[in-house]
Structure 1
Amino acid sequence: MWKHAIEDAMMKIRNNVERFGDRFPHVSENGKYELNNNEDWTNGFWSGMLWLSYEYSGDEFYREAARRTVESFKRRMEQHIVLDHHDIGFLYTLSSQAQWIVERNEEAKQLTLQAADVLMRRWREKGEYIQAWGLPDNAQHGGRMIIDCLLNLPLLFWAYEQTGNERYREIAIKQADQSRRYLVRGDDSSYHTFVFNTETGEPLGGATHQGYTNGSTWARGQAWGVYGFTLAYRYTRNPLYLDTAKRMANYFLEQLPEDHVAYWDFNAPVDVNTYRDSSASAIVAAGLIELIGHLDDSDPDRAEYEEKLKLSMTSLVDNYSTIGEDDAEGLLKHGSYYVRGGVAPDDYMIWGDYYYLEALMRMDKGIKGYWYEL
């Protein structure tokens, strides 16, 4: 099953290289991806899909396409195009760092270290957090950290491993610790965002940006926590991170409906029109594969995670993928971006496609993705 799904996905990716040219997919509307000139937070996922396709197939077509995206990211860095946010890891881990991992390209390594420095500039000493969006004086977001940042921290951990500069690791650990303290609730659910007073660093409270309510649990945010804390454990071996990842995974899996694919928010009223978020389930699937790898056979959660992973991935392939739809641009249907804002509430999401492909390739060939080096 996994091999057939991968082959179908790679066929679509090949077609999309021709369709997209030098532009990057973001989210879709009516089945057509919106494209941009490498100026959004999601562009690294397309690059990562190309590198995965090359690793899987050895086909130079995918490698040349992936290399072109890295050249685009080099220009983006040189011109500082829309980099005043925390999603630098999403951009450069899956593009230039991927090239370094696959090809040992020194220029790609140096570009990735530059990216780590850009992310480091978002650290706010008062409050001790990485600011998610905007400049420090941004009235709306100046004191805001968000759970998504956990998937940007591997860039800093990797930079520490490459340079020995302890500051990268120190900031990554502090951000992970603050995320545990302020974003993960006592019942193992999560806030999307948390706000600090920019003048004093005083913690003010949790809120949402894309979830149903401030007190609800946005499915994709919970998914970032599952994978993000697992990766933090890989880099630090801090058992608190592994425990947090497991608790968040258990919460996510306990909320799933009968077809094992998440609704967009676990507290949203459920009826026949409630949106799913296949991308959240794809992120958790990739995260569970990583998480299972850190558990020994005696861990009672391991067998359950393996079972739930298979159920979820089977449902994604059978019920949410575009297998058999040869002209489809996306790999996974029924992802949601920003439901309350009415932005792409039910369509393709490029990050959903990426994590779905990563999970498939990890399950079929053990190709791990680019969040760390072996």
Structure 2
Amino acid sequence: MLKNIFLPVFIVLLFHSCQAQFNVQVPLDYCAVQAKKTLKVIPATAVNIPRSIDQGKTEWHFVGYGDWCSGFWPGTLWYLYESTGDTTFKTAADRFTRELRPLSVQKAVDHDLGFQVFSSFGKGYRLTGNPDYKKVILAAADTLATLFNPKVGTILSWPRSVPHMDWPQHNTIIDNMINLELLFWAARNGGRKALYDMAVSHARVTMKNHFRPDFRAYHAVVYDKDTGKKIKGLTHQGYADDSMWARGQAWAIYGYTMCYRESRDPAFLDFAEKVTDVYLKDLPADRIPYWDFNDPDIPNAPRDASAAAVVASGLLELSAFLKDPAKAALYRKEAEEMLRSLSSATYQSREKNSAFLLHSTGNHPAGSEIDASIIYADYYYAEALLRLKELQQKNK
């Protein structure tokens, strides 16, 4: 009987050890080629940051620095500079990063400063040590902190009226977990200790209120702004209030893994595993989720390659934190399978357009960016590939 208990784990480890190692440099080189194609079509206007390409089209939709996706393009360029050493990417990354500088001194209009500033200036500072970048990061963290409500214990995501959010009550969306990294980093690098406390509080309150008993995330939670009491959980971009929106669950996996890295609070590590396990158990065979796990149109519903890229990157980091070698191996195997699928002809854009990936879904209920190429899918794909490359080099 005891042998049978360990047989599935043995099979997983055997499969992992026998499978040919994924050559991560091939897709990284591919990304570099694609990015250089995009650099050639950047318009000479202030609205010049690539965001998405509609399904079946070849032209990018460009946005300005205020768009919530504005940091992903310079961040992708920084990753490609890290991968290739090609100063073409460094020069371009610096150019697009600097375009986002006003975000650090303007009044916060939403929670997305982490996505915008840490994906750009944060990556640039890590690779260059440019002190000017550091000043912007610290200023942006202080700006983000102005949205923290101590009565609730979380950062306000949208300081404005949004449908079904009971404005002016306090709303928090699961995406906001990613923006906590900006606060953690700032607190460790010359910013106020209060920034660390805000990040931990946000993660703990979200852990308590943002998930159903089976650890599936709501997209949004509305709180009473004066008492901090939870009013309701709901969706904004998922199929339904009680469904599991794929990218929302991806933000939870990535976010709680990052929170454990920054705080070493074992509760965050345990929770990262729980939100991961419910995501993994219902994935399609190719490991790329449908945009929402509960869309009744499955298997004819759109996929979301962006969610797969986020999860692949998060799982690679999470696997390195686990003490259970069998589960660590399982998570890494899952991440590698996601990257294999994303690197296939089915999901890579190749000659179809100059993005890296196809088949991402932005805001399905709004009919926006459905089955499209989206810049944050490319960003997390490049990040996941670099994380896997690092792990492979450590294991040599």
Q: TM-score, normalised by structure 1?
A: 0.92
Q: Distance in 2 between matches of 1:8 and 1:40?
A: 27
Q: Select 1:182's aligned residue among 196, 202, 209.
A: 209
Q: Secondary structure at the match of 2:301?
A: coil
The aligned residue for residue 36 of structure 2 is 14
Q: Secondary structure at the match of 1:212?
A: coil
The aligned residue for residue 218 of structure 2 is 191
The aligned residue for residue 326 of structure 2 is 300
Seen in structure 2, the aligned counterparts of structure 1 residues 365 and 234 have a Cα distance that, compared at 3 Å, is: closer
Aligned length: 364
Range with greater deviation from structure 2 (19-28 or 124-133): 19-28
- 2:335 is equivalent to residue 309 of structure 1: yes
Structure 1 residue 367: Cα displacement: 11
Q: Distance in 1 between matches of 2:197 and 2:266?
A: 17
Q: Select 2:347's aligned residue among 288, 297, 321.
A: 321
Seen in structure 2, the aligned counterparts of structure 1 residues 141 and 292 have a Cα distance that, compared at 3 Å, is: farther
- 2:385 is equivalent to residue 360 of structure 1: yes
Q: Deviations over 1:18-66 (max 9, x none)?
A: 2124611222223332101212001111111010111111111101101
Q: Distance in 2 between matches of 1:319 and 1:17?
A: 23
CA contact (8 A) 1:131 1:143 kept: yes
In the TM superposition, 1:1-374 aligns within 5 A as 1-21=23-43, 23-30=48-55, 31=57, 32-78=59-105, 80=106, 83-135=108-160, 140=167, 142-163=169-190, 165-296=192-323, 298-322=324-348, 324-325=350-351, 328-365=353-390
Q: Deviations over 1:116-154 (max 9, x none)?
A: 011100001222210101249996464110111111001
Seen in structure 2, the aligned counterparts of structure 1 residues 74 and 324 have a Cα distance that, compared at 3 Å, is: closer
Q: Which amino acid aligns with 1:303?
A: A
Q: TM-score, normalised by structure 2?
A: 0.87
Q: Which amino acid aligns with 1:166?
A: K
Q: Distance in 2 between matches of 1:53 and 1:238?
A: 32
Q: Distance in 2 between matches of 1:142 and 1:55?
A: 43
CA contact (8 A) 2:50 2:61 kept: yes
Q: Distance in 2 between matches of 1:92 and 1:366?
A: 26
Q: Distance in 2 between matches of 1:247 and 1:18?
A: 44
Range with greater deviation from structure 2 (119-128 or 136-145): 136-145
Structure 1 residue 184: Cα displacement: 2.1
Q: Distance in 2 between matches of 1:2 and 1:257?
A: 23
Q: Which amino acid aligns with 1:28?
A: I
The aligned residue for residue 372 of structure 1 is none
Q: Distance in 1 between matches of 2:189 and 2:275?
A: 30
CA contact (8 A) 2:72 2:116 kept: yes
Q: Secondary structure at the match of 1:163?
A: coil
Structure 1 residue 98: Cα displacement: 1.6
Seen in structure 2, the aligned counterparts of structure 1 residues 224 and 321 have a Cα distance that, compared at 3 Å, is: same
Seen in structure 2, the aligned counterparts of structure 1 residues 65 and 164 have a Cα distance that, compared at 3 Å, is: closer
CA contact (8 A) 2:362 2:368 kept: yes
Seen in structure 2, the aligned counterparts of structure 1 residues 300 and 103 have a Cα distance that, compared at 3 Å, is: same
Q: Which amino acid aligns with 2:368?
A: V
Structure 1 residue 102: Cα displacement: 0.9
Q: Deviations over 1:244-299 (max 9, x none)?
A: 11111111111101221101111111444301111001100000011011123x44
Seen in structure 2, the aligned counterparts of structure 1 residues 319 and 178 have a Cα distance that, compared at 3 Å, is: farther
Q: Which runs of 5+ in 1 are unaligned?
A: 369-374
Q: Distance in 2 between matches of 1:16 and 1:68?
A: 15
Q: Which amino acid aligns with 1:313?
A: L
CA contact (8 A) 2:223 2:229 kept: yes
